[in-house]
Amino acid sequence: MRKYLFIFKSEVMSNLQYITNISISFIGIFLMLYIFLNLWKFIYSDPNELINGYSYNQMIWYVIFTEVIWSVVGGRKMCAKISEDVKAGNIAYNINKPYSYIGYCLSTNLGLCAVRAMLYIVLGLLIGLLFLHSFPSISILEAIAVFISFVFAIVISILMLTSIGLLSFFIEDSGPLYWMYSKFILVLGTIFPIEFFPMWARGILKYSPLNAVNYGPATLYVNFSWNSFILVIISQIVYLFIIYMICKLIYMKGVKRLNVNGG
Amino acid sequence: MPIIEVKKLSKTFKVKIKEKGIKGSIKSIFKPKYKTIKAVKGISFEVEKGEMIAFIGPNGAGKSTTIKMMTGILYPDAGSIKVIDYNPVKQRKQLAYNIGTVFGQKEQLWTHLTPYDNFKFFGAIYDIPNSRVEKKIEELKELFELGEFINTPVRNLSLGQRIRCEIVASLIHEPKVLFLDEPTIGLDPVVKENIRSLIKRMNKEYKTTIFLTSHDVGDIEKLCKRVIIINNGTIVLDDTMENLKYHYLNKKIVDAKMREKVNLEDEEGITILKDKGYNLKIEVDTRKRSVADAIKLLNPDNIVDINISNIPLEDIISNIYKKEDKK
Amino acid sequence: MLTEVKNQIRVMALSTKYSLMREMLNKVTFISNVFFMILNNASFIIQWLILFSLKEDLGGFTLKEVILLWGVAASTFGISRFFFSSAFKLSDTITNGKLDAFLVLPKDVLLSVITTDVSVSALGDMIYGYIMLIVYGITVENFITFTILTICGGLIVVSISVIFSSLSFYIVKADLVSDTANSLMTNFATYPDTIFKGITKMILYTIVPVGISVYLPVRTIIKFNVYNFFIIVVLCIVLMTIAYMVFNRGLKKYSSSNLMISRV
């Protein structure tokens, strides 16, 4: 465990050097949020109106929260990097080292995400304050609970992307798979809460990984209750376990294949 | 009538200075610091038609800045340039029709196309009618021995074959002046030799003036009759290859292996370069002492093996570089 | 003069053709790139279905108009990125001294640089644009208007990128400015302008003229108006001229690969 902590720490240190570049890449997120702000302002004719149970302020905070998760993870590059590792055979060097590749992936990527999270959470809160002039009513203890679920969401996202990247063992190009995953996350979980979808879809979406990676933590933030916190955390733990097993399985099968083909 | 005339040419760059760390990065956004670097400091020279000239100097001496100004890539700060009656600053396009450039490290060919298609593309860039391009390609194919691979995509060619194609591509429009920047970089000795003889043949055939830069002394020695050495933005030497060598030819290196130890010390006309007891290396200035004198000093009976040679051109040039830096 | 223009166009066409040939070397990648871009654009239909279930009318835009908006935005984007893909990497080209290769050739630098590459996925955008026009309801008239106006729109998008990228002749990190301008041009293009007000709307018709490259064309296709049509064409020509002038003025400051940051 200590070695992963060390990898994580050195990754955080090295990314701290690029702090200005990372902050500047927030401009794109800001623009998207600004568009959503205008869009929802137009749709909510009265700020006190509730649409599908969400007030205008809750809606904007929801989008800020999910956009921050999305950009903290920054999936495209991460997935491409793992694919590259598999294809270029870098992974072969990792096989005989005394750490697991998945653990290594998780700790390096968490290092990068930690730096981004630090910046984007602050910037996200500032934007929300700028747009809405208030925060959701939430106590410090509750905020800590939301943060825990936020961290879980990041870890699960990284593992999902890792497993997609590792599929490059078996298929020529994992790009289209990443693409489908990103559309799933963006269109179904980031822009609207699940309540905005037709009844029949809601049931399915509620049990999908969306609850673990963005919808769950984001609704906690805009409308906290300890009851829903427990439900979200349980679903996150379950998904964490499932996705970790999937990741491991793909890796083991993949490496076996690598040995057969002689790398 | 010289074909290239450069007068008092100067160029200065403003370079942003950045301090280390996060603080430095933030500082440089709000309060950037600049320093000016004088890359070229008022140089003048001329090149005659049909000449093959070597333009050399250590890294950062101002070589490429000068070439870039001569080819119309950079605007000079002061001074004037005339290449074949054109002023690169004002007549970039007309100049481009009449010069060729090969930058050894930068490829200008499309790698997925065959050399033949590439040449046709360059024909279109230089507005040459199709029939003439085809004739020219045929002719250059013979001269540069491209027959075997003219229809193989460039990405499947060896480095040597590629550079030959690069040179041919820059000759399609029959330039009067050809700028070659490190044409043999990264090539093996046999291919280097081959490229050199092709360049020589081309110069003879078309009377193309060649302006060559290279770090490879072989290129310079075998191709050029004249050398211009630039260092720290000024020309430190502009002379014929013969003069350059002659100047240093007064000095001979005597490398001797001895049976017994000799104790020699520097004296008029003789410098000890290396003394390892049985192995000696001394430099003799033949204007002051004869080589025979030096051998006598060594006691000829004691010599096991001896080798008397000229100073290699490579050393001559690096001596000139060093001398300049000390000033 | 005329032959010069003709030769320039010939070289640009050849350049585009050869770049496309390069991209088509791997047929599977080529087709999947195009196909996935079409799917990608289509996925956002879900977002609009939901939005319109909440409110039927977004300031005059119903689902039908939004479909046309997406069509125009995708085609405009596609034309600019397919034919002039390198106009969007121009900042990098200038900063890293990659203009050298074009400066030694007897052709126009700007026009040669921006036509040196194609983006395959942009082909998907162009196709998607026409699919959306078909869904909207294609006629001969709106097909012609659509084609002309998306070409104008594409050229406007390219001009904006060239203008902002030319800042790279003067400052090192200008790519941040041009990247932001380029993402503004695309992000705003897929939302109806009726949801924006005040300063935002003003910016969208001036500094980052999404209004002229997308919003006004959409209005003109819905209901043809000669006046709007000419405004778009004229502004397109004006912006192209400005871009050309700004670039060539900056070119005098070009410092090849010598504009380095030296660390102390």
Give me the interface pTM, i.e. the ipTM.
0.86
Q: At what angle do helices A101-132 and A56-73 cross, to 10 degrees?
A: 150
Mean pLDDT of chain C: 91
Query: Is C107 within 8 Å of B112 when comparing Cβ atoms?
Result: no
Task: Please indicate if any CB of chain B lies within 8 Å of the CB of A35.
Answer: no
For residues C91 and C82, give the distance between their C-alpha atoms in angstroms, rounded to a whole number.
18
Over the stretch A199-213, which tens digit does the pLDDT of each residue have?
898 888 888 999 899
Contacts of A37 in chain C (CB under 8 A): none
B270 with B302, same domain: the answer is yes
Q: Which of B223-237, C33-47, C71-85 has the highest mean pLDDT?
A: C71-85
- Chain A residue with Cα closest to B22: A17
Q: How far apart are CA B31 and CA B33, in angstroms?
A: 6
| pLDDT (mean) for A87-103 | 77
Query: Do residues B295 and B236 share a domain?
Result: no
| Final residue belonging to a domain, choices B216, B242, B268 | B242
pLDDT averaged over every residue in chain A: 88
Q: What is the length of chain B?
A: 327
B155 falls within a domain: no
pLDDT at A12 over 90: no
Q: What is the pLDDT of residue C97?
A: 86
Biggest CA pair distance of chain C: 64
C243 pLDDT higher than 90: yes
H/E element holding C189?
A: none
Under 8 Å between Cβ of B86 and B125: no
Question: Which residues of A, range 52-91, sit inside 8 Å of B by Cβ?
Answer: none
- Residues C193, C197, C202: CA angle, nearest 5 degrees: 80
How many folded domains does chain B comprise? 2
Backbone torsions φ then ψ of B188, nearest 5 degrees: -80, 160
pTM score, whole prediction: 0.86
Tell me what pLDDT residue A9 has. Answer: 87
> Out of A49-53, A94-98, A228-232, C258-262, which region has the weakest mean confidence (pLDDT)?
C258-262
> Which chain C residues contact residue B73 at CB under 8 A?
99-100, 103-104, 254, 256
Chain C segment 223-252 residues within 8 A of B by beta carbon are: 252
Phi, psi for C22 (deg, rounded to 5): -65, -45
Chain A CB within 8 Å of residue C191 CB? yes
Task: Decide: C189 and C213 in contact? Cβ < 8 Å.
Answer: yes
Contact assignment for B29 to A20 by CB distance below 8 Å? yes
Q: Which residue of A has its CA nearest to C53?
A: A196
User: Which of A31, A39, A196 lies closest to C184 in CB terms?
Assistant: A31
Provide, as residue numbers in chain B, all residues whose Cβ is less than 8 Å from the Cβ of C22: 110, 112
Q: Which residue of C27, C31, C195, C203 to mutate against A (max A Cβ within 10 Å)?
A: C195
Predicted pLDDT of residue B114 = 94
Strand order across the B226-231 sheet? B99-103, B177-181, B209-213, B52-56, B226-231, B234-240
Of the candidates B31, B1, B4, B3, the residue with the CA atom closest to the CA atom of residue B18: B31
Alpha helices in C44-190 (DSSP H): 45-54, 63-83, 90-95, 100-103, 109-114, 120-137, 140-165, 174-187
Reported confidence tier of residue B324, pLDDT bands at 50, 70, 90: low
Q: How many CB atoms lie within 10 A of CB A44?
A: 20
Asked if the Cβ–Cβ distance from C191 to A176 is below 8 Å, we say no
For CA atoms B290, B296, B297, B300, give the dihedral sign: positive
B190 touches chain A (CB under 8 A): no
pLDDT tops 70 at residue A259: no
Query: Based on the domain organization, do B177 and B238 belong to the same domain?
Result: yes
User: How confident is residue C263, by pLDDT bands cut at 50, 70 and 90?
Assistant: very low
| CATH number (domain holding residue B63) | 3.40.50.300
pLDDT tens per residue, range A120-179? 999 999 999 999 988 888 899 999 999 999 999 999 999 999 999 999 888 877 878 888
- Tell which of C5, C255, C261 to mutate to test the B interface (max B CBs under 10 Å): C255
**Model pLDDT, residue B41:** 92
Question: Chain-wide mean pLDDT for chain B?
Answer: 86
Q: Does B71 touch chain C (CB under 8 A)?
A: yes
Residues 51 to 70 of B: which have CB under 8 A from any A CB?
none
Mean pLDDT confidence for C222-245: 96
Contact between C256 and B15 using a beta-carbon 8 Å cutoff: no
* B205 exposure class (CB count in 10 Å sphere: 0-12, 13-18, 19+): exposed
pLDDT the model gives residue B26: 62
Per-residue model confidence (pLDDT) at position A60: 94
Is the per-residue pLDDT at C142 higher than 90?
yes
Task: State whether residue C184 sits within 8 Å of chain A by CB.
Answer: yes
Q: How many angstroms separate the CA of residue B292 from the nearest CA in chain C?
A: 53
Interface chains of chain C (3 or more CB pairs under 8 Å): A, B
Say if CB C76 and CB C126 are below 8 A apart.
Answer: no
Only one residue has tokens 């902002």, namely C164
- Say yes or no: C260 contacts chain B, CB-CB below 8 A: yes
- Residue B165 pLDDT exceeds 80: yes
Residue B136 falls within a domain, yes or no? no
Rounded CA gap, A105 and A87, in Å? 16
* Cβ pair A156, A236 in contact under 8 A: yes
| Domain positions in chain C | 2-255
The contacts of residue A87 (CB under 8 Å, 6+ apart) are: A168
Same domain, B306 and B176: no
In a 10 Å sphere around its CB, with 0-12 CB exposed, 13-18 middle and 19+ buried, how is residue C27 labelled? exposed
- CB contact residues (below 8 A), chain B span 270-299, against chain C: none
Task: Tell me the average pLDDT across B125-143.
Answer: 92
B208 shares contact with chain C (CB less than 8 Å)? no
- Cβ density class B295-313: b for 16+ within 10 Å, e for less: bebbeeeebeeeeeeebeb
C195 shares contact with chain A (CB less than 8 Å): yes
- A-C Cβ pairs (cutoff 8 Å, strict): 57
B227 and B85: one domain?
Answer: yes
**Position B131 pLDDT exceeds 90:** yes
Judgement on whether residues B91 and B188 belong to the same structural domain of the protein: yes
Of B19, B74, B92, the CB nearest to C256: B74
First-to-last alpha carbon distance for chain C, in angstroms, is 50
CB contact under 8 A, C32 and A38: no
pLDDT band at B23 (very low <50, low <70, confident <90, very high): low
Q: Identify the band that residue B28 occupies on the pLDDT scale cut at 50, 70 and 90.
A: low
First to last CA, chain A: 29
Interface test with B, best of A20, A23, A118 (most B CBs within 10 A): A20
Angle made by CA atoms C197, C198, C202, in degrees to the nearest 5: 100
Both tokens of B248, joined, read: 């240093």
Q: Does C199 touch chain B (CB under 8 A)?
A: no
Percent of chain A exceeding pLDDT 90 equals 46
**Test the C interface: residue of A181, A187, A194 with most C CBs within 10 Å:** A187
The secondary structure element, H or E, covering residue C260 is: none
Q: Which of A16, A17, A20 minimises the CB distance to B26?
A: A20
In a domain, B97, yes or no: yes
The packing angle between helices A56-73 and A215-222, to 10°, is 140
pLDDT at A88: 78
Number of Cβ atoms within 10 Å of the Cβ of C38: 17
- B55 and B200: one domain? yes
Which chains, if any, share at least 3 CB pairs under 8 A with chain B? Answer: A, C
Rg of chain B in Å (alpha carbons): 25
| Residues in C touching B126 (Cβ below 8 Å) | 106
**What average pLDDT does range B237-265 have in this prediction?**
81
Residue from B93, B111, B116 to probe the interface with C (highest C Cβ count within 10 Å): B93
- Picking from A152-161, A179-188, C146-155, which range would have the lowest pLDDT averaged per residue? A179-188
> Which residues of chain A lie closer than 8 angstroms to C32, CB-CB?
173, 176
- So what's the pLDDT on residue B30? 65
Q: Mean pLDDT across the stretch A78-107?
A: 81
- Cβ-defined contact of A17 to B22 (cutoff 8 Å): yes
Query: Would residue B86 count as lying in a domain?
Result: yes
What is the DSSP code (8-state) at residue A51? B
B25 to A20: CB separation less than 8 angstroms, yes or no = yes
Domain residue limits at B263: 250-326
**Helix then strand then coil, % of chain C, to nearest 5:** 80, 0, 20
> Which one is predicted more confidently, C164 or B104?
C164
Closest in C101, C103, C262 to B106, CB measured: C101
What pLDDT, on the 0 to 100 scale, is given for residue B29?
Answer: 60
B73 DSSP β-pair partners: none
Whether the predicted pLDDT of C261 surpasses 60: no
The pair of three-digit structure tokens given for residue B169, joined into one six-digit string: 């591509």
Q: Sorting pLDDT into bands at 50, 70 and 90, what band is B317?
A: confident
- Give the A window 34-53 contacts with C, CB below 8 Å: 34-35, 38-39, 41-43, 51
Intra-chain end-to-end CA distance of chain B, in Å: 35
> Is residue A262 scored above 90 in pLDDT?
no
- Report which of residues C115 and B260 the model is more confident about: C115
Q: Which of C40, C55, C200 sits opposite A43 (nearest CB)?
A: C55
User: Which residues fall within 8 angstroms of residue B212, CB to CB, at 6 or more apart?
Assistant: B52, B53, B54, B55, B180, B183, B219, B220, B223, B224
Look up the CATH number of the domain holding residue B313: 3.30.70
Question: Which chains have 3+ CB pairs within 8 A of A?
Answer: B, C
B20 band by pLDDT with thresholds 50, 70 and 90: low
Copy the structure tokens of residue B222.
């075998």
CB pairs under 8 A between A and B: 9
* pLDDT of B320 over the 90 cut: no
Return the closest-CA partner of residue B47 out of B115, B107, B99: B99
DSSP string, B97-154: HHEEEEETTS--S-TTS-HHHHHHHHHHHTT--HHHHHHHHHHHHHHTT-TTTTTS-G
User: What's the pLDDT score for residue B273?
Assistant: 81
* Residue B36 belongs to some domain of the structure: no
Work out the percent of chain A whose per-residue pLDDT is above 70.
97
CA atoms within a 13 Å half-sphere pointing along the CA-CB vector of B11:
30
Chain B interface includes A13 (CB < 8 A): no
- pLDDT, residue C264, reads 32
Q: Are strands B4-18 and B52-56 parallel, antiparallel or unpaired?
A: unpaired
Q: What is the mean pLDDT of residues A55-82?
A: 91
Helix segments in chain A, DSSP class H = 2-16, 19-24, 26-43, 56-73, 75-88, 90-95, 101-132, 140-166, 175-185, 199-207, 210-213, 215-222, 226-261
Facing residue for B71 by CB, picked from C7, C104, C263: C104
Q: Are residues B177 and B320 in the same domain?
A: no
- Average pLDDT of the residues in B103-127: 89
Length of chain A: 263
Residue whose structure tokens are 């000696």: B280
